[in-house]
A and B are shown apart, each in its own frame.
Chain A
Amino acid sequence: MLLFRSGEHVDRWSEGRGLPTGGVLTPEQCWRLARAWFHDRLSPDWRRRTPEEATRIFGEIGLTGPFWRLG
């Protein structure tokens, strides 16, 4: 999960490695994902997200489709 200067830089980097472009997010989307995912990580009651919970979090941020499907 890397931060690029722009989508053009993502495309050039991916092409240079022969990789298909994967999942692309805005920094704001990733910030929302980070808050939803990690806000309780230091809580004694933290537990790992279930695939269903993760899918719901992804969906709330607009990350849908096969790329974001867990398991």
Chain B
Amino acid sequence: MDPSAFDRQVRLSIYRAIVEDGRPPTAPELAGTLDVPAAGVEDAFRRLADGRAIVLAPGTPYVWMANPFSAIPTPFEVRVGDRGYFGNCIWDALGIPACLHEDAQIRTFCPDCSEPISLEVRGDMLAAPAGATIHFAVPAAHWWEDIGAT
């Protein structure tokens, strides 16, 4: 299999695991599933990260973000049926029902006053509290300079 086809398979396997299990696989876990050497999967993780298809936790081969999903808990909790996920930000939280093409409830809180805020996606429609406002602090050209902070 050529590297790009293998990387596509690895990328899809990461997403499949997140959707089904709620977390990304480690390279050895995925290597076992695909019946390939773990080092090859880890190399694919790094190529995917270099191509900004995923984000690895700094200094590790572990998947931190496969946007819109976060591998770690965040203040952007997304419930889809009986499954729960975390988005990396409010854009990503809304991206979870968008990529799953399913209804969802999103729970977060106002960073200014800590009041809980809920959003609901039903079909193509979004229900949000009156006045709710989304803020991007970092200009688009700088998003990837520190994606965790973005």
Residue numbers of A with Cβ under 8 A of B are 1-7, 9-10, 12-14, 16, 19, 21-31, 33-35, 37-42, 44, 46, 48, 54, 58, 66-71
Per-residue CB contact flags for chain B residues 71-92 toward chain A (1 = under 8 Å, else 0) read 0000000000000000001111
Report Cα–Cα, A16/B137, bound state, in Å. 13
Contact assessment for A10 and B101 in the assembled complex, using a CB-CB cutoff below 8 Å: no
Which residue on chain B has the smallest CB distance to residue A41?
Answer: B99
Known contacts A6-B132, A27-B128; is A41 also within 8 Å of B95 by CB? yes
**Could you jot down 15 A-B contacts, CB within 8 Å?**
A2-B108, A3-B133, A4-B112, A5-B112, A10-B112, A13-B111, A13-B112, A27-B134, A30-B134, A34-B68, A35-B94, A38-B67, A42-B15, A66-B139, A69-B140
Quick check: B91 and A5 within 8 Å, CB to CB? no
* A9–B113 alpha-carbon span in the complex (Å): 8
CB distance A1 to B91 under 8 Å?
yes
Q: Is B126 an interface residue (CB 8 A)?
A: yes
**Complex Cα spacing A14 to B136, Å:** 11
Expressed in whole angstroms, the minimum distance between the Cβ of A41 and any Cβ of chain B is 4
Contact status A1-B89, CB under 8 Å: yes
Chain A CB within 8 A of B53 CB? yes
In the complex, besides A34-B91, A35-B94, 11 extra interface pairs with C-beta distance below 8 angstroms are A2-B90, A3-B134, A4-B110, A4-B132, A13-B111, A21-B135, A23-B140, A25-B133, A38-B95, A39-B98, A39-B101
